[in-house]
């Protein structure tokens, strides 16, 4: 094998051959610093974007799940799901989802319930424990709103605003019965559907779930305050 491409033989002035020397072309210090700087910038950008993407994924996933829970209440009502623990007409009940702003813990959960007395609202003892939801990964319900006047949101919390929100479905209609109450438990005056629930991620990303009177349920991004 010819090693001439790897080694260079040099003759000394005295006429004998030196030991073969391997030639390597390396980085200069400046080149190394430039490469490391570029790599650091690229990796930092990737980490930041990954963090933002994860944050968005966390809140959007839980917004979609909330929309599905509300849809499930609608399906239960339309499908005439019976209440095996009920008295009398076990099939003549509604199903719904309840939101409250009564304390800090209430912004971390929402309640799936069966409207046994058909009053269109959640009452103590109507909760379906296995169907109720607790938000995770530090996502919270930032606020929920109705509309007053010309597209002006009236949201929780706040005096005269929506403090309690009941969304209930009754057979045979797919429409949503939306009841909004103020902090005193009375009607939130002149506040009308649609109901809009805003979820907030740990890094401040917002997603919302909107429920129309006709039963339409949608989700979307946005709603920062």
Task: Give the start-to-end residue ranges of the domains of the chain.
Answer: 48-221
How confident is the model at residue 132, as a pLDDT?
A: 80
Mean pLDDT, the chain, as a whole number? 82
Question: Are 99 and 197 a contacting pair, CB within 8 Å?
Answer: yes
How confident is the model at residue 90, as a pLDDT?
A: 63
Whole-angstrom distance, CA of residue 35 vs CA of residue 49: 21
Residue-wise pLDDT tens digits, 11-28: 555 555 555 555 556 668
pTM value?
0.76
Q: How many CA atoms lie within 13 A of 127 on its CB side?
A: 11
What residues pair up with 141 in beta bridges, in sequence order? 199
Residue-wise pLDDT tens digits, 196-205: 999 999 999 9
Domain range 48-221, CATH class:
alpha beta
Q: Which two tokens stand for residue 216?
A: 């339409």
Examine the pLDDT at 211 and tell me if it is beyond 80: yes
């Amino acid at each position: 094998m010819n090693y001439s491409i790897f080694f260079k033989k040099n003759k000394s002035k005295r006429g004998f051959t030196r030991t073969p020397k391997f030639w390597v072309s390396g980085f200069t210090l400046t080149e190394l610093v430039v490469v490391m700087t570029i790599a650091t910038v690229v990796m930092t950008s990737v980490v930041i974007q990954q963090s933002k993407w994860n944050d968005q994924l966390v809140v959007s996933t839980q917004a979609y799940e909330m929309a599905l829970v509300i849809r499930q209440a609608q399906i239960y009502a339309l499908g005439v799901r019976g209440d095996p623990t009920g008295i009398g007409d076990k099939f003549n009940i509604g199903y719904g989802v309840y939101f409250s702003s009564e304390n800090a813990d209430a912004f971390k959960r929402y309640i799936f319930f069966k409207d046994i007395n058909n009053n269109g609202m959640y009452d103590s003892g109507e909760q379906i424990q296995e169907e109720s939801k607790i938000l995770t990964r530090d996502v919270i319900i930032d606020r929920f709103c109705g509309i007053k006047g010309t597209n002006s949101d009236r949201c929780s919390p706040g005096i005269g605003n929506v403090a309690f929100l009941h969304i209930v479905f009754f057979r045979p209609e797919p429409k949503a019965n939306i009841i909004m109450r103020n902090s005193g438990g009375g009607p939130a005056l002149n506040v009308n559907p649609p109901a809009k629930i805003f979820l907030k991620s740990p890094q401040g990303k917002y997603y919302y779930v909107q429920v129309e009177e006709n039963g339409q349920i949608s989700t979307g991004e946005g709603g920062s305050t």
